[in-house]
């Protein structure tokens, strides 16, 4: 069989995993279960070049630099990174991916993969993908249905046409079901006809586009126009905004799959989870003798069935049961471990209050490296800035703030006005408001410095760019350095 084109969808906000997951760094970019982020693990599962083409990624424009940086750091081959001008759910993302695959690979088989899921049995996953490929190359559209092990209310379900066994059997699809309540989920599992919906689809590009046309006339043309009008920007492909925004908003399974007559589901036991809650993290993490899961620096006494997830600092818990306690450098969550929806409700309330803790963390990633907020008060802000080898901040100016840079390690190439100079460890420079300046790391080692900002306005949108290595002169998605 021919090689498959993996299509990795990197959308969603992961609100139920707040405060670790933020709008600027949702859960697919987190290292929740091991040394790699979920999006890197997804790409690694389809890295066999004998069976797969380099993956195609579809992501939000706001996340483009962190996607590229994580894949590069993992030394993974990438086909392309398509940038959505706005989130339109999975149907639009898959439509433009199918149009792109058709243009680049012809009528190739593609596998659509969510970027933020956990699969404990990768060999079972691959066996199911290759079985689904045979269906796709016969003109069908296949999806993987996960054999349920419990009446989960946090997953969608697929109802098969008959009782679904295991192995390589395939079944017709009766319907896709949204997340049920507990009683309905129990009935689903007891019937033997329902499978968890993993959101994984295998199909030829022609079959996908035909299904889109049948579901929503004109959708294929809009997807093709979004790809034809795309503009290459460094490592990325920016889809044409007007054409993309003309695509209907909705999920692929409900908008398209429920209406096809060539859809099939393959049951598979692959230890799958969408890691959609802190309870799911607890279930898949190692446990101690009291069924506590501990990630980071935490001490638990007289406590059981708890999750302690510590990103910053030290946590002590005593005399509690069934809690999830998550500590980051700017927020702490204490919740009933099983109350996944209540965490999303907290995020919703915080967003209405314009709390920045839902948007970004103190660690903010940029194409040149990253910075971390250390302290902030009236008239001042302190950051720790790390510039990777070869990284260069834009030539810029600030109207309202002055900056004082102190080099901690590495060598800084600094442009201040018309003068360029090198700064070494323990050396510093002052950049007054209104002065053009740029910071660059031309060495082979990381550059680390402390930046102290002072002024009457210290928000990130106080920036005027004159030159930028990363094409951000008119970019509203990266209002920082």
49-108 pLDDT, tens digit per residue, is: 999 999 999 998 888 888 988 998 899 999 899 999 888 889 999 999 999 999 999 999
- What's the angle, vertex CA 250, arms to CA 246 and CA 255, rounded to 5? 105
What the block records as the tokens of 386 is 């790390």
Per-residue pLDDT, averaged over 119-139, amounts to 94
Q: How many Å apart are CA 3 and CA 46, to the nearest integer? A: 11
| Per-residue burial over 92-118, b = 16 or more CB atoms within 10 Å of its CB, e = otherwise | bbbbbbbbbbbeebeebbbbbbbbbbb
Phi, psi of 209, rounded to the nearest 5 degrees: -65, -35
- Looking at residue 455, what is its pLDDT? 94
- Looking at residue 475, what is its pLDDT? 58
Pseudo-torsion of CA 438, 476, 43, 195, nearest 10°?
Answer: 160
* 173-213 pLDDT tens trace: 888 998 898 999 999 999 988 999 999 999 999 999 999 99
**Size (the chain), residues:** 481
The answer on pLDDT for 479 being more than 80 is: no
Rounded CA Rg of the chain: 24
The answer on pLDDT for 474 being more than 70 is: no
* 243-266 pLDDT tens trace: 999 898 889 988 888 888 898 999
Q: How many Å apart are CA 13 and CA 10, to the nearest integer? A: 10
Q: Is 204 exposed, middle or buried (0-12, 13-18, 19+ CB in 10 A)?
A: buried
- What's the angle, vertex CA 264, arms to CA 258 and CA 270, rounded to 5? 110
Residue whose pair of structure tokens reads 């969510």 in the numeric block:
114
Q: How many CB atoms lie within 10 A of CB 468?
A: 20
Q: How many Å apart are CA 302 and CA 262, to the nearest integer? A: 55
- Looking at residue 164, what is its pLDDT? 59
pLDDT band per the 50, 70, 90 thresholds, residue 480: low
Model confidence, pTM: 0.86
Query: Do residues 212 and 182 touch, judged by C-beta distance below 8 A?
Result: no
> Does residue 382 or residue 23 have the better pLDDT?
382
* 130-154 pLDDT tens trace: 999 999 999 999 999 999 988 988 8
DSSP 394: P
Highest mean pLDDT among 11-15, 19-23, 357-361: 19-23
- Looking at residue 169, what is its pLDDT? 76
pLDDT band per the 50, 70, 90 thresholds, residue 166: low
* 316-362 pLDDT tens trace: 999 999 999 999 988 999 999 988 668 989 999 999 998 988 887 77
Contacts of 1 (CB under 8 A, 6+ apart): 109, 130, 133, 134, 137
Query: Do residues 342 and 17 touch, judged by C-beta distance below 8 A?
Result: no
- Looking at residue 141, what is its pLDDT? 94
């Amino acid at each position: 069989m021919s090689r498959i084109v993996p299509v990795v969808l990197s959308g969603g906000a992961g609100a139920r995993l707040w405060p670790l997951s933020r709008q600027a760094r949702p859960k697919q970019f987190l290292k929740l279960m091991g040394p790699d982020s979920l999006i890197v693990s997804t790409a690694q599962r389809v890295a066999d070049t004998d069976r797969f083409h380099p993956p195609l990624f579809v992501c939000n424009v706001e996340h483009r630099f962190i996607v590229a940086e994580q894949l590069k750091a993992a030394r993974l081959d990438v086909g392309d990174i398509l940038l959505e001008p706005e989130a339109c759910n999975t149907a639009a993302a898959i439509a433009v991916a199918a149009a792109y695959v058709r243009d680049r690979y012809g009528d190739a088989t593609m596998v659509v993969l969510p970027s933020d899921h956990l699969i404990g049995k990768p060999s079972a996953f691959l066996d199911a993908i290759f079985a689904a490929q045979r269906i796709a190359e016969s003109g069908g559209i296949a999806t993987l249905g996960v054999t349920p092990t419990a009446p989960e209310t946090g997953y969608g379900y697929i109802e098969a046409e008959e009782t679904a066994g295991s192995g390589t059997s395939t079944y017709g699809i009766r319907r896709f079901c949204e997340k049920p309540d507990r009683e309905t989920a129990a009935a689903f599992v007891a019937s033997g006809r329902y499978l968890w919906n993993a959101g994984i689809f295998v199909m030829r590009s022609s079959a996908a586009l035909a299904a889109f046309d049948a579901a929503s006339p004109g959708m294929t043309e809009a997807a093709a126009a979004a790809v034809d009008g795309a503009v290459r920007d460094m490592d990325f492909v920016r889809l044409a905004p007007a054409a993309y925004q003309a695509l209907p908003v909705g999920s692929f399974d409900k908008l398209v799959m429920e209406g096809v007559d060539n859809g099939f589901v393959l049951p598979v036991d692959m230890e799958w989870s969408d890691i959609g809650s802190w309870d799911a993290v607890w279930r898949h993490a190692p446990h101690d003798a009291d069924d506590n899961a501990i990630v980071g620096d935490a001490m638990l006494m007289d406590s059981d069935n708890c999750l302690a997830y510590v990103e910053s600092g030290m946590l002590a818990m005593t005399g509690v049961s069934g809690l999830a306690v998550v500590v980051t450098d700017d927020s702490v969550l204490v919740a009933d471990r099983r109350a996944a929806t209540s965490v999303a409700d907290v995020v919703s309330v915080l967003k209405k209050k314009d709390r920045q803790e839902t948007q970004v963390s103190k660690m903010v990633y940029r194409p040149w490296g990253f910075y971390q907020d250390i302290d902030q008060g009236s008239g001042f802000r302190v950051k720790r800035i790390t510039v990777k080898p070869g990284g260069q901040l834009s030539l810029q100016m600030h109207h309202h703030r002055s900056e004082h840079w102190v080099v901690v390690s590495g060598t800084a190439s600094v442009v201040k006005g018309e003068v360029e100079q090198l700064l070494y460890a323990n050396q510093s420079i002052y950049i007054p408001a209104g002065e053009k300046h740029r910071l660059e790391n031309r060495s082979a080692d990381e550059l680390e410095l402390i930046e102290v900002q002072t002024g009457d306005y210290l928000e990130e949108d106080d920036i005027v760019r004159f030159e930028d290595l990363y094409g951000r002169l008119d970019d509203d998605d990266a209002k920082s350095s």
